[in-house]
Amino acid sequence: MTAPTPNGPGGPSRRPAARSPNPVALLVEASPVIRLRYSGVLADLGCRVLQAVDGVDALVQARERGSELALVVLDLQLGRTDGRGVLSQLRRLSSLKTTPIVVLTPPVDRETVRSILDHGATDVIQRDMALSQVGERLAGHLGQAAPLPVAVAEPSAAEFAARAREFVTGRRSADSSAAGPWVLFGDGRAEVADMVTGRAPAATELYAAAGAAVARCRRIFAGLDFGYGFEHDAEAIWNAASSQVAPPGLVVVSDRHPDAGTLLARLVAETNLPVYVLVDATAEGPARAPGGVRTRCLDRARLHVDAWQRLLLRHLFPPTQALVTGLRLAVLDLGRQDEAPAVPGDMVRVRCQGTLLDGTRCVGTDAKGLECRFRLGRGEVPHAWEEAVAALHPGARALVIEPPEPGRTLMPAEWPPATVVYSLELLGETAAGPAKGD
């Protein structure tokens, strides 16, 4: 099957490009996850994919191999590099004067698209576009038909029901002994019944995304034990929210719940918990609950996994303290407070694991993490880590958040700048005895 090609007034005709059977494409993308996604699309089109993680790398490869390139795919969000400047410089290269350069962007308006095209882009693809559509667009620029898409069967009612039951049964009860931060969801009894019988696929997808965000946070922020509750009874929601023992840190109630308005008015008036209402709207905005109490709304259509994750971290993440070196420290377990923190000259033993905010492990990738011993004050580890360890008692557990700035500590040098969350455990210390390798 050949993909339709516009001709005549509707668009230029597409002829097979006079290139090798395996065209070379340069993908310029800072995020390793997005890079993996789009390199897969290009590979499916038969391309040999060159990858660049920033503008400097892209320009070096383009100068060296520009004559081989059949296509450049460029993300404008390159961290410390100006994406539009890179686009302009690529277009100035004689070897890329006529090579298609396709720009990736987040959702943008028409004026922004026009500006990007004025800088030399051949096409602009917004990152919320389905990968099948991205493949068709890129295939057109390669002068070939897109591969026949693989038909994906729509999940059956039974599959939606199984997914809903998995979410409902995975919830944390209000009287659970778990001590981690948690979010409480509330929806109507009829809505829950429709979910677990497969008659409410949209609601199932919504809550499955919320559950996936909770699971991702639990994986990234090791030891924090994120969780969620799910109730349809208004009294149960109120009792959990007003509890003095491990109440939820966030409450999200559906506007389809028969008691949602009254309940939320009481919650906002009588507790200090952040409360949101799920609504069908075109944008997030304030709404008024009965009695004139203001509450916040969440548009169901916007709540994918990443959006849920941002909401959870905004309200459930523990307080952090800023370290002089720019890292932030969140202490999860104070450890043995009867023992003094380590001082310069002490030997310490720590275990850590680094994870990006999308769940990708970048340091200590096995289940146990990376374990090491070093002596404080000797420069054997970056100063930032000495400062973090010196702030903890033996046996303490903490999260160390490192922003995507120059001078990062343990993250591999070949990885692009990104926020990294390190799970740090101070296993013990000794005042005598050399470290291994001394």
- As a residue count, the chain comes to 438
Q: For residue 423, what are the CA distances in angstroms to 114, 177, 333, 370, 402?
A: 44, 23, 12, 10, 11
The structural domains of the chain, with segments of one domain joined by +, span 18-141, 157-316, 321-430
Determine whether 146 is exposed, middle or buried from the number of CB atoms within 10 Å of its CB (0-12, 13-18, 19+): buried
Class of domain 157-316: alpha beta
The contacts of residue 64 (CB under 8 Å, 6+ apart) are none
Reading phi first (left if > 0) and then psi (alpha if -120 to 50, else beta), residue 412 is in beta
User: What CATH number was assigned to the domain covering residues 321-430?
Assistant: 3.10.50.40
> Mind listing the pLDDT tens digit of every residue in the chain (438 residues)?
333 333 333 333 333 334 446 889 999 988 777 888 888 889 888 899 999 888 888 888 898 888 899 999 998 877 656 778 888 888 888 889 889 999 988 877 777 888 888 888 888 988 778 788 888 889 888 875 444 444 546 778 888 999 899 898 888 766 666 778 999 999 988 998 999 999 999 999 999 999 989 988 888 887 788 899 999 888 888 888 888 888 899 999 998 888 766 676 677 667 888 888 888 864 444 444 444 455 688 888 889 888 898 899 889 888 888 887 778 888 888 888 888 888 888 888 988 888 877 677 777 656 667 788 888 888 877 777 788 888 888 888 888 888 876 556 666 565 666 788 888 888 865 444 444 333
Q: How far apart are the first and last CA of the chain?
A: 67
Calpha distance 402→420 (Å, rounded): 5
In 3D space, the residue among 232, 235, 230 whose CA is nearest the CA of residue 263 turns out to be 235
Contact call for residues 5 and 17 (beta carbons, < 8 A): no
Contact call for residues 289 and 268 (beta carbons, < 8 A): yes
Reading phi first (left if > 0) and then psi (alpha if -120 to 50, else beta), residue 292 is in left
Calpha distance 144→137 (Å, rounded): 10
Q: Do the first three CATH levels of 18-141 and 157-316 match, i.e. the same topology?
A: yes
pTM across the whole model: 0.57
Q: Which CATH superfamily is domain 18-141 in?
A: Response regulator (3.40.50.2300)
